[in-house]
Structure 1
Amino acid sequence: MKSSEDGPALSIGDLGARFGLATHVLRHWETMGLLHPARDAGGRRRYGADDLNRVATILILKEAGLGLTTIRSLSATTDRATRHEILRPAAEELRSRIAAARASLELIEGGLNCAYEDVTHCPNYRRRLAERIDARQERNEPMNRPNTAGGKLS
């Protein structure tokens, strides 16, 4: 699919500058099948209005945490069920990261709100330590294995 000729035809440098992207990024996206610029008589890439929309879409989806392969799969389908199949794992991963970030924030805020000079004296800190020790004993896990569970310190 070639770009629309509607609107100004931008060079690769102009398109990159418009979005703050290096030209090699746009070339990479083209090799991945995400962009399909038209070519002028000299073989130079010319980007139109459709390409502006594609680049903006790619940037929005990347900001949402999607990889280029997933973005390519999404752009290749108009089927709702396929779109859901592609996005469902990304949504689950994002929910998991949000839960971990919330737990981390609770932990940090607990430390900030602790009235004790030494945070290790905070009752909730001590409770968390006991819970961690008890939980690892119940599962027979080594004490040095990281745990991503969060919660308040204070």
Structure 2
Amino acid sequence: MKAIGEVAAELGIEAHVLRHWEHVGALSVRRDGHGYRVYDDRALEQARTVLKLRRVGLSLPEVTAAMSPTKAAAQAVVKAKISALEEEVAHRRRAITFLQHAVECRHRYLDECPDCATFVREA
């Protein structure tokens, strides 16, 4: 059993973050007889999972949904996030391609380059 400060220090986050996660329903923590939060192994593992999901880009509502008791609901959220991340990766690859061309472009101004104009017209 650990107190909120110990768990926060172990995870490298502030205690108020753990309280917020609990407030929005992403984390459930038992209370002792005096009303203090008590983190058992299950609650600590749940907090680690929330932290990992946040670090890979899920919002708190997505985290809460991804930790749904039904596997289908959790998978739907994760699949949607994978799709969004893949779209972001593709967008960034196109940006890198454009910028690499801009660096190597033989034209003085990018708007004089037909290749740059093609990049500009792409969505």
From 62, 70, 78, give the equivalent of 2:70.
78
Q: Which residue of 1 aligns with 2:109?
A: 120
Higher helix fraction: Structure 1 or Structure 2?
A: 2
Deviations 1:75-94 (A, max 9, x none): 12233x32332223222211
Runs of 4 or more, structure 1, over 3 Å off, are 118-121
- 1:92 equivalenced with 2:79 (yes/no): no
Deviations 1:50-108 (A, max 9, x none): 122111111111122111111111212233x3233222322221111111111122223
Residue 36 to residue 70, structure 1, CA distance change in 2 (3 Å): same
Gap runs ≥5 in structure 1: 1-8, 136-146, 150-154
Deviation at 1:10, TM superposition (A): 1.1
From 88, 94, 99, give the equivalent of 1:103.
94
Listed as ranges, the matches of 1:1-154 within 5 Å are: 9-79=1-71, 81-112=72-103, 114=104, 116=106, 120=109, 126-131=113-118, 135=121, 149=123
- Determine if contact 1:61/1:71 at 8 Å carries over to the other structure: yes
Q: Which has the higher contact order (CA 8 A, sep 6+)?
A: 1
Distance 1:43 1:132 in 2: 60
Read off the aligned partner of 1:98 and give its amino acid letter: V
Deviation at 1:132, TM superposition (A): 5.6
Residue 100 to residue 115, structure 1, CA distance change in 2 (3 Å): closer
Q: Quote the RMSD (CA, aligned, Å).
A: 2.5
* Structure 1 counterpart SS, 2:116: helix
How many residues align? The count is: 122
Residue 62 to residue 95, structure 1, CA distance change in 2 (3 Å): same
TM superposition score normalised by structure 2: 0.80
Gap runs ≥5 in structure 2: none
- Determine if contact 2:27/2:50 at 8 Å carries over to the other structure: no
